[in-house]
Structure 1
Amino acid sequence: MAIRDKAGMVFDAWGLIGGLEVALDVDVLVGAYPDRDGPPGTPATVRAMLAAHRIRAGAVASLRAALFDVRSGNDATLALAAPDDLTAPGAAASGGGSSAAFVPVGVVDLRDPVGAGREMDRLAAAGVRAVRLFPDEQGVEAGFPSVRHVARRAARLDMTVLTGGDVRRFWQPFAGLEARVVFLDTHFYHLGDFLVAAADEPGFHTSTRLLNSPDALETVAAELGADRLLYGSRTPHYEPIVPLLRLATSGLKPDEVAAVAGGNARRLLG
């Protein structure tokens, strides 16, 4: 893929990425947003898009579960990991296969905290290791009792939480619980707030998706350790090559890059 910068210069993104592959992307969605333009997000096209970017597996959550019906959306996600699930045909980019695997992530509705707790129990019994929160899409604020309720239930069930929302607010419901949390929307403008919150919370981690400043990944690695960083792309609703390129051109050591590119996610998601 060739990219043209603001000055009109063209550079080869894949040449800069080199041989980097991602073992597990922590931020993948299936489905579409009904109120925005964007891809349909079918499982087949999402698998193919991941593979085209040398991403071998994705931690996938359902927009249907987040926006319409939790149980049926989660059941559809669980079915995607079944052995007989059909994979997408088609050629991938150099170095990739034709499709990528899915690791199922459950979704709960923060507007229904009692139902959310029951759904988390059901998911945990089915072997799901992570639950994803959509506070912005569901109109829920960090201070709502439902968020703290779900945070406590996740800690009790030993489930990793993947959460959207502004990290400057959404760190608070998870504080003091020894919870494992991945903040999916940490922006490099807010990196300082994440660093000071995570310094006291060893279970706090961040996706790399929006950490695109020249030194953001390196700063997290220096302050907290590279084990707090997880590659996330939000495929298919974001361009996966951007965080991929940033990781490949970072100053992290090869073992740190490998950890960010999937090793840390495997540790948290099982």
Structure 2
Amino acid sequence: MRIGLITPDPGHPLLAGAAALLAPEHVVEALDPTPPGDAPVPVPRRPADVYLLKSGTPHAVGLARELERRGAAVVNSAAATALCQDRTEMAGLALRAGLPFAATRTVGALSAWASGTTLTAPVVVKSRRNRKGDLVARADDAAALRELARAWPREPVVVQEYAPNSGWDHKLWAIGDQVFAARRRSELSPGGQGPNVPLALDDLPAGWAGLVREVGAVFALDVYGVDIIDTGGGTPLIVDVNAFPGIRGLSGAPAALAALTLRRAPVRRP
């Protein structure tokens, strides 16, 4: 079987670990979705059997769509990956499905919105496009909002009301049906973001692992992350969903990804 990795970084620990497990019996090849200049990304004349889409850039998603059109299986699909890159669409789908997702407003360019807004309560401001290095910040008052606007004037953003919490984010990841968990100091906390602290599933509040699997079903995702905060007494509030996150340093994650890859490959008939 031929397996493709759609990524500019095939050495990423999760991908490299899964590839090492698959390589003895299968051909694993990387496909860089980053085009030189404005040139289109070349599409293989003979696609692999299955691809792992570890990039959410427009070029990567476009490449995945073409590979799907040519009959290849892609994990996650191009459509599911693209949906998770747009926080407006993400929140809309989650709320329509009845998931406990943070209420999210789309306000357009940050500078234009900030200039006419008087905050009466803290808010979390996020880039509408979910990507590496995007804007995720808390603003408690108009002065803080204007400071953000000076740094990100043209950034299209969404706004969520700040939900009081312990200052810890719960990072939950799924690879197929297998769920992994960790907690981490929130990037919105005064001390800043800290390292992931792995958690056993038994240490999570009741129902949280099932909630993660429900998110996967709603968003049609196979490999994904769900950011949850505890708003009190184990009551979950989902604040983000990520397609194919890094899932670094968690025992069993590469093996789970290798097994999922083989399950998602189409059956080839003689």
Compute the TM-score of the two structures, normalised by the length of structure 1.
Answer: 0.29
Higher helix share: 1
Compute the TM-score of the two structures, normalised by the length of structure 2.
Answer: 0.29
For the pair shown, the structure with the greater C-alpha radius of gyration is 2
Higher strand share: 2
